[in-house]
Amino acid sequence: MDHATRYMMAKIVPTLDAMQIFRTFYRHWVVPFGPPRIVLTDNGTSFRGAFRAKAAYPLGCKHLTAAPFRPQGNGVNEASHQKLLNVLKAIRQEGV
């Protein structure tokens, strides 16, 4: 999600490994919009190490992580994730 505009994009990925996350991020965010100045993620293993080495540093992004067990530190994203989950639940209930 872009914090300035609140533009959000969600993609389904087959796995949560760092390379899959990087490829999806690069293809669907960096290619159309250019690399962001800052990338804020949670502390999931997909976003540590390999993602940082492959995405943040080579693209010139500063990589920040939200404090573990403190979702308030990433409140804007957490709220958008909740809305997305509600939409997905509604779609599943409708059988679309």
Residue 2 lies in a domain: no
Residue 59 lies in a domain: yes
Report residue 13: phi and psi, to 5°: -120, 145
The domain containing residue 45 runs over which residues? 18-94
pLDDT, greater one: 19 or 72:
19
Tally of structural domains, the chain: 1
The pTM score is 0.73
- CATH code: domain of residue 32: 3.30.420.10
Any idea what the Cα angle at residue 57 is, between residues 52 and 58, rounded to 5°? 115
pLDDT, tens digit (0-9, with 9 covering 90-100), for 31-72? 999 999 888 887 777 777 777 777 777 888 888 887 776 667
Residue 4 lies in a domain: no
